[in-house]
């Protein structure tokens, strides 16, 4: 099977509890095409592999996350009223960090409420997630019993705000509503957050750092380059093992970019990135889906069967990470461990899971209102230019007349001077020398 076949990660909520992560690689359909399955067995790190961990949790604080922090106001309002507000300059609509932003004057907002329109704040979905993740990491993995918590993507998109280190109890007192020292970011830069963790814990035996985000990452290419550099440093022993996990938050996660990092080929046998979607996770232990000891043997013997009952792989010692191939159109497979069979479907009805999300935009009435405002501005400028041209023409002809008058005065003055000189010459006394002659 070709290694460049595009893979697809099964959503966590469709994966059986016994499995960690399942990636499916289907070749283009032909008589010999096959389906390759790469999977891990679900388990937390065991033995020495569970020792020496440092952990961190990073919260995307860009403008596109405003809804997730419970800070976005939602109201269904008559577009004609909002159009009037835009024309009056009482409502500003624009795009920021790929998200429609609307800022309205307090008086106009009060008018909307007085008119009886239902106005609500979005639900803060980050608060419980952050508390659960922080508690889990601090309690079950971090060697210090605490997890480092930061906001990233703040301000211009490159700033971070460090909240500190929290244990399982302290994190329950956290109020998660976005950064206090920065505004929500105008762009989303992931690289500064990665650099913060690896520099802070550069002497750590191993680390796992989780990034909660809606998946809109503006410095994706720089992150890819940096990831390859990290993989090389790990491979040559300059840096200890680390795992970076992206957790998609919200109802419109850009899974495509998350998948891009997860599938990034560093050219080495080191897999740094993994991703999950928060709404699909059935338990927090799924963050370890790729954090497995490949040399660990789970069972003495095991077999894999396809949906036709054919044994496609036999393991004399089942590893925590395994691969096998079966027919291209296979609907499921079964893992047989000591007579117990675990059936896993490899079919999903959603074919657009890894397609890029369409870009968000303003409502049509907002665009039309803004265009009308812009056109009015252009007309105003054009009118001013017409006035300026008329004024300039008047000034031009006035200048011509004044100049002509000035030239005429000079000419007249020159004529007078010339006549005066002639008159003086005519009445000048005759030279005596001339008379002698």
Percent of the chain, pLDDT > 70?
81
How confident is the model at residue 74, as a pLDDT? 85
Asked whether the predicted pLDDT for residue 28 surpasses 80, the reply is no
CA separation for the pair 159, 318 (Å, rounded) = 45
How confident is the model at residue 48, as a pLDDT? 74
Class of domain 1-43+292-356: mainly beta
Strand order across the 7-9 sheet = 7-9, 19-26, 34-41, 321-327
Stretch 371-392: mean pLDDT, rounded? 49
Q: What angle do CA 10, 12, 18 make, to 5 degrees?
A: 100
Asked whether the predicted pLDDT for residue 87 surpasses 80, the reply is yes
Chain-centroid distance, C-alpha 282: 25
Q: Are 55 and 145 in contact (CB under 8 A)?
A: no
CA separation for the pair 107, 89 (Å, rounded) = 12
pLDDT tens column, 51-67: 899 999 999 999 989 99
pLDDT band at 306 (very low <50, low <70, confident <90, very high): very high
How confident is the model at residue 36, as a pLDDT? 93
Q: Are 150 and 156 in contact (CB under 8 A)?
A: no
Asked whether the predicted pLDDT for residue 363 surpasses 60, the reply is yes
Strand residue runs (E) in 5-146: 7-9, 19-26, 34-41, 53-60, 73-75, 91-96, 99-104, 119-121
How confident is the model at residue 290, as a pLDDT? 81
How confident is the model at residue 418, as a pLDDT? 44
How confident is the model at residue 416, as a pLDDT? 35
How confident is the model at residue 95, as a pLDDT? 82
φ, ψ dihedrals at 319, nearest 5°? -80, 165
pLDDT band at 245 (very low <50, low <70, confident <90, very high): very high
pLDDT tens column, 146-187: 999 999 999 999 999 999 999 999 988 889 999 988 899 999
pLDDT band at 355 (very low <50, low <70, confident <90, very high): low
What residue segments make up the domains of the chain, in order of their start? Answer: 1-43+292-356, 45-72+122-284, 73-121, 372-436
What does 387-436 look like in DSSP terms, one character per residue? HHHHHHHHHHHHHHHHHHHHHHHHHHHHHHHHHHHHHHHHTSPPPHHHHH
Topology (CATH) of 45-72+122-284: Rossmann fold (3.40.50)
Q: Are 184 and 103 in contact (CB under 8 A)?
A: no
pLDDT band at 425 (very low <50, low <70, confident <90, very high): very low
Using the structure block, give the residue that is written with the tokens 């507000």.
Answer: 85
The whole-model pTM stands at 0.76
CA separation for the pair 289, 354 (Å, rounded) = 19
Q: Are 305 and 333 in contact (CB under 8 A)?
A: yes
Chain-centroid distance, C-alpha 69: 16
Q: Which residue has the higher pLDDT, 289 or 212?
A: 212
Asked whether the predicted pLDDT for residue 2 surpasses 60, the reply is no
CB neighbourhood size of 239 (10 A): 17
Q: Which residues pair with 248 in a beta bridge?
A: 213, 277
pLDDT tens column, 96-135: 777 788 888 999 899 999 999 988 889 999 999 999 999 9
How confident is the model at residue 399, as a pLDDT? 58
Percent of the chain, pLDDT > 90?
43
Q: State the chain's mean pLDDT as an integer.
A: 81
Q: Which residue has the higher pLDDT, 403 or 370?
A: 370
How do 73-75 and 321-327 pair as beta strands? Answer: unpaired
Which 8-state DSSP code applies to residue 124? B
User: For residue 349, is it left (φ>0), alpha (ψ between -120 and 50) or beta?
Assistant: alpha
């Amino acid at each position: 099977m070709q290694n460049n076949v595009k893979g697809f990660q099964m959503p966590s909520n469709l994966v059986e509890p016994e499995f960690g992560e399942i990636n499916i690689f289907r070749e283009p359909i032909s008589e010999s095409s096959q389906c390759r399955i790469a999977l891990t067995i679900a388990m937390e790190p065991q033995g020495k592999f569970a020792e020496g961990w440092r952990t961190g949790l990073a919260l995307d604080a860009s403008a596109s996350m405003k809804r997730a922090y419970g800070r976005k106001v939602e109201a269904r309002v008559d577009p004609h009223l909002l159009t009037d507000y835009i024309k009056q300059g009482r409502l500003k609509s624009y795009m920021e960090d790929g998200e429609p932003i609307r800022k309205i004057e307090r008086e106009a907002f009060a008018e909307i409420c007085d008119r009886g329109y239902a106005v609500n704040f979005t639900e803060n979905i980050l608060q419980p997630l952050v508390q659960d993740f922080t508690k889990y990491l601090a309690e079950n993995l971090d060697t210090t019993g605490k997890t480092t918590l930061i906001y990233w993507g703040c301000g211009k998109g490159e700033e971070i705000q460090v909240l500190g280190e929290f244990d399982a109890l302290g994190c329950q007192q956290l109020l998660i509503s976005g950064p206090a020292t920065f505004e929500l970011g105008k762009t989303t830069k992931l690289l500064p957050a990665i650099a913060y963790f690896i520099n802070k814990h550069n002497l750590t035996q191993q680390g796992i750092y989780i990034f909660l985000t809606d998946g809109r990452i503006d410095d994706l290419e720089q992150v890819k380059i940096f990831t390859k550099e990290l993989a090389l440093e790990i491979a040559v022993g300059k840096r200890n093992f680390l795992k970076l996990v992206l957790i998609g938050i919200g109802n419109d996660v850009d899974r495509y970019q998350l998948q891009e990092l997860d599938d990034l080929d560093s050219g080495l046998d080191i897999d740094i990135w993994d991703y999950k979607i928060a709404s699909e996770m059935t338990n927090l232990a799924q963050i370890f889906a790729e954090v497995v000891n490949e040399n660990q043997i789970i069972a003495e013997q095991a077999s894999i069967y396809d949906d036709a009952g054919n044994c496609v792989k036999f393991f004399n010692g089942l590893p925590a990470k395994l691969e096998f191939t079966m027919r291209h159109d296979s609907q499921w497979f079964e893992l047989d461990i000591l007579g117990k069979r675990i059936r896993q479907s490899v079919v999903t009805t959603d074919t657009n899971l890894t397609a890029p999300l369409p870009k968000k935009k303003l409502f049509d009435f907002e665009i039309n209102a803004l265009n009308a405002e812009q056109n009015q501005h252009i007309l105003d400028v054009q009118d001013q230019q017409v006035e300026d041209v008329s004024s300039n023409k008047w000034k031009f002809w006035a200048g011509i007349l004044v100049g002509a008058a000035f030239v005429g005065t000079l000419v007249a003055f020159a004529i007078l001077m010339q006549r005066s000189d002639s008159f003086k010459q005519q009445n000048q006394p005759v030279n005596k020398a001339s008379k002698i002659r």
